[in-house]
Amino acid sequence: MHSIDEVFSWLSRAMVHQWHIPLVQFWAAQAYRTGQTRLELRTVASEDPSLPAAIHSNQQVADVVQRLLQERRGVSPLPATHVFSSSQVGALAHYKLHYWTGYFLKNDLLLPPKKEATEEKIPTPVNMIVSLFLQHLPSERLGRALDFTFRHSLLTATSRGFLLTSPDRTSSDSAAESVSQHIQPTLSTLIPHRSESIEAMRAGNPFANASILPDKNTRRLYSLVNGHRDVATLARLADLNQKETEEALRLLLQQEKIELHDFKGNSIDASLVLKVSG
Amino acid sequence: MNIQTIANLSLFPIGVVCTINAIRAFYMYSLSRNDILFILGFAMSSIAMAVFMSNIGDAHLVPYNTQWARYMCSSSGALCIFLSSIVKSHEQLGQLKRGQVILGAVAVMVIALTPILPPFASPLIPATLNNIRTVIYGAALIRYASLYILKESRFSLIMSFAFLLLVTGFILVTPQLLHPDPTTATLNIIASFVRVVGYSLLLVAYSFG
């Protein structure tokens, strides 16, 4: 391999063939000398050769990816109906693509433009979404495997010099950040799990063990927590805005009623995404 | 009104206290969204309903066989308490909560059908229903006894004794169900009072355990 695009291409093909992910796309932010930044599809791999590009590499998918890049977040696997319009969902469903997820990759190393790119394009800080179209909800194991793969691919790409170092940063700084920052946990993608001990609940008097949730919004949100829904979904179902959601989560975390996990099941330090007082 | 009926009617205050506890559990659930409280509220409602259906039948307030509803409610209440003591995850707790709603619908249906449900054709039927109930309460007894051995909590200790008395009460009543005989009435009265103490202990566990 001689370039980062070859890495992306190899990775996407491996994900399709080894893990049977039907469709993989690598989208990246591309900066221009004019100061503009546009979205660019760096590579795409599909399990089904008959799948027309128009089905997946279109403005609607680009809009969703663009929004995630702007919000600097990924999204847990969701039914396509939660992400795309009905016409897009119908087109995807025709090829049995019923779920979608986007991994947000970020660090301050620079992604060089594609080989055949015009000189207007300049190296751009890695700001990418790996878009996966799926037939079924992926297992947590797949999530962990993807996380591991992205982490090490970026490190390997850095060590091979496929990613460029920003002039105002040392390569060691960047390499360290590539490990810690390449997937940023954002609140809306996290999945709250109930953390009250079942053991204690079984053996103790329920009246004595019950802790009151004084706030109505908190109660509404908590009753929807099932260990599968992410914060964005909970907020939508509970009809709460971002501020109310954060406040409710903060209360639940303070009362140790929930803990936050990423979709791979890893526990997340709540202080990374919310200010939680001890 | 014979002594047996008086013994059965002595369960009435237990029904009232169960109702109060059910209301308390549902109210606490509305404030805490703790699923165990929802399950408890349902279980207490079921037991209260069993007591009231039994009282209605014993006092001859209605000319129907209220024992179907009584066994159904009594068994479903204890079953929920037992199942809530063996769940292993919040997900299972949620499933139990949903299952309870179905169980509740069935119980309501049995109560509603009381006017058309037939009298027991054979003493074997109430004896079998009583035995099923005894098995459920027995399972709860074993579960809470094992929880007490593991955790040594006051709550599980009182619950164990409560279920022990209830199981004893149900076993004692079985001969009378199989062979209704005035000579075994004393045993039946003792069984009723043992059950009253058992239910009282159950309520003590939830109030002070």
**DSSP H/E element including A200:** helix A198-203
Least confident of A74-88, B66-80, B174-188: B174-188
A217 residue type, one letter: N
> What's residue A182's pLDDT?
40
Walk me through the domains of chain B, giving residue ranges and CATH numbers: 3-208 (1.20.1070.10)
Q: How many CB atoms lie within 10 A of CB A117?
A: 12
Per the CB < 8 Å rule, is B155 touching A203? yes
Determine, for residues A203 and B153 on separate chains, whether the beta-carbon distance falls below 8 Å.
Answer: yes
Mean pLDDT lowest among A62-76, A80-94, B156-170: A62-76
Say whether A1 sits in a helix, a strand or coil: coil
| Token pair recorded at residue A236 | 């939508």
Mean pLDDT of all residues in A145-167: 77
Q: Answer yes or no: is pLDDT of A143 > 80.
A: no
Q: What is the pLDDT of residue B40?
A: 92
Average pLDDT over residues B55-80: 87
User: Interface pTM (ipTM) of the complex?
Assistant: 0.75
- Cβ within 8 Å, pair B36-A203: no
Average per-residue pLDDT in chain B?
A: 87
Distance CA A79, CA A84 (A): 9
Taking CB atoms and an 8 Å cutoff, what residues of chain B touch A202? Answer: 84-87, 147
The one-letter amino acid code at A252 reads: L
**Quick one: pLDDT band at residue A133, thresholds 50, 70, 90?**
very high
The CA-CA-CA angle for residues A24, A30, A32, to 5°, reads: 160
- A207 pLDDT above the threshold of 70: yes
Q: Which residues pair with A134 in a beta bridge?
A: A99
Please state the rounded mean pLDDT for residues A15-39: 88
Distance between CA atoms of B154 and B15, rounded to whole angstroms? 24
Of B134, B40, B49, B152, the residue nearest B87 (C-alpha): B40
The fraction of chain B above a pLDDT of 90, given in percent, is 45
Q: Give the residue numbers in A contacting B (CB under 8 Å), as ranges.
A: 193-194, 196, 198, 201-213, 219, 222-223, 226-227
User: What's the pLDDT score for residue A107?
Assistant: 76
Q: Which residues pair with A40 in a beta bridge?
A: A28
Domains of chain A by range and CATH? Answer: 4-183 (3.30.450.40), 188-272 (1.10.10)
> Tell me, what amino acid is at A72?
R
B91 touches chain A (CB under 8 A): yes
Which residue of chain A is at minimal alpha-carbon distance from B95?
A226
Question: How many Å apart are CA B207 and CA B185, to the nearest integer?
Answer: 33
Mutate to test the interface with B, among A197, A202, A228 (most CBs of B within 10 A): A202
Helices (H), A81-170: 86-94, 140-159
pLDDT, residue A228, reads 83
8 Å CB contact between A190 and A157: no
Q: pTM higher than 0.90 for the full model?
A: no
